[in-house]
Amino acid sequence: MSLSFPEKSFSTETTPKEAKPFLKWVGGKQQLLAQYEAYFPAEFNRYIEPFVGGGAVFFHLWNSNRLPQHVCLFDNNEELINAYRVVRDQVDALIGLLAEHKKKHSKDYYYRVRRLDRENVDLTDVERAARTIYLNKTCYNGLYRVNSKGQFNVPMGSYKNPRILYEAVLAAASVALQNVSLEVGDFRQLLTAAQKGDFIYFDPPYDPLSKTASFTSYTASNFGDQDQRDLADVFTTLTEKGCLCMLSNSYTEFIRELYKSFKIEVVYAKRAVNSDANGRGNIKESLIINF
Ligand SMILES: C[S@@+](CC[C@H](N)C(=O)[O-])C[C@H]1O[C@@H](n2cnc3c(N)ncnc32)[C@H](O)[C@@H]1O
């Protein structure tokens, strides 16, 4: 009797053992996780991350089984939250569209896809998410920058072989995001949304090291000094409410002054995005903790 085996049908791509960010995001916290590890609280009720970006801290806590049943991630970038929702709910359709983008990728194609928002082309949620991920993987440094009309304006990057489709990362992220609530929102909404016992990790756009080196245009509206002050007020009010709060920011005088009544731990980060000399190499950052 001879046995016949089917052709190998599974993907030969390496499967990441763990969930991790599916986007490149300025300020990504992947490199700081080991230093943060000592500070995460052992017990808490719900997990809330109001400036989720690439979500490195969320995925890290998920991988180590430390997340409770209720998790809420939000960000005021609508395209970003749409991408998260599509990864959670329609990952197969998304993978199909990214495979198309991968096949067609060229300089001309990049600018055609980038132009779709200027031409007001109506896209479905899954098409919008595929566009966002495609542009993120092929644009200059993975930046997300829009003009005052909200139109994406980052030039193409010079990657030889950009990883437009990484199925295993998308699939793992999709699993991690099941049951997670994903909202477009401003951090000030936490004043009513957060409750005693919640753990809230804040990773806002950083206070610039020098005001000219700033890259704070994550969305059409900049994050300025008044936003930093409002954020420190939110942090203080949530502390009084009994929430466990942890916040990353630069180690500037302004930030140390705003959070002077809290514990400020120093961590060290490698910075590559700022063109200013201060932004390169190992630089000090603050990790502000209220517990
Ligand atoms: C430093 S990034 C977060 C990086 C992220 N923790 C990671 O590991 O990739 C800051 C995020 O805050 C978002 N953001 C900016 N202003 C905001 C606001 N007023 N409310 C909520 N989110 C905001 C930006 O869209 C951006 O995704």
pLDDT in tens, 255-271: 999 999 999 999 999 87
Residue 9 lies in a domain: no
Look at ligand 1, atom 17, and give the residue with the nearest C-alpha: 76
Token output for 48: 């809330």
In this structure, what are the phi and psi dihedrals at residue 25, rounded to the nearest 5 degrees? -140, 130
Question: Does 183 map to a domain?
Answer: yes
| 74 in a structural domain | yes
- Ranges of the chain whose pLDDT falls below 50: 1-12, 216-221, 273, 275-276, 279
Per-residue pLDDT tens over the stretch 105-119 = 999 999 999 999 999
Residues whose beta carbon lies within 6 Å of some atom of ligand 1: 25, 27-29, 50-51, 53-54, 56, 75-77, 80, 186-187, 203-205, 218-219, 223
In a domain, 105, yes or no: no
Domain count along the chain:
1
Q: Is residue 132 part of a domain?
A: no
What's the confidence (pLDDT) of residue 271?
72
What is the atom index within ligand 1 of the atom nearest the CA of 77? 25
pLDDT tens, position by position, 111-155: 999 999 999 899 999 999 999 999 999 999 999 999 989 899 999
Could you tell me if residue 103 is inside a domain? no
Instruction: Tell me how far apart the alpha carbons of residues 28 and 58 are, in angstroms, rounded to a whole number.
Output: 11
pLDDT at 157: 96
Is the residue at 125 inside a domain?
Answer: no
- And the tokens for 102? 């991968």
Cross-strand bridge partners of residue 287: 248, 265
- Domain coverage including residue 274: 30-95+172-289
| The residue type at 120 | N
- Looking up tokens 């806590």, which residue turns up? 61
Residue nearest atom 24 in ligand 1 by C-alpha distance: 218
Compute and round to an integer the Cα radius of gyration of the chain: 20
Please state, in angstroms and as integers, the Cα–Cα distance from residue 97 to each residue in 112, 131, 188, 220, 243, following that order.
Answer: 15, 9, 35, 27, 41
Please indicate, yes or no, if residue 100 is contained in any of the structural domains. no
CATH code for the domain of 255: 3.40.50.150
- 208-227 residues labelled b (16+ CB within 10 A) or e (exposed): bbeeeebbbbbbeeebeeeb
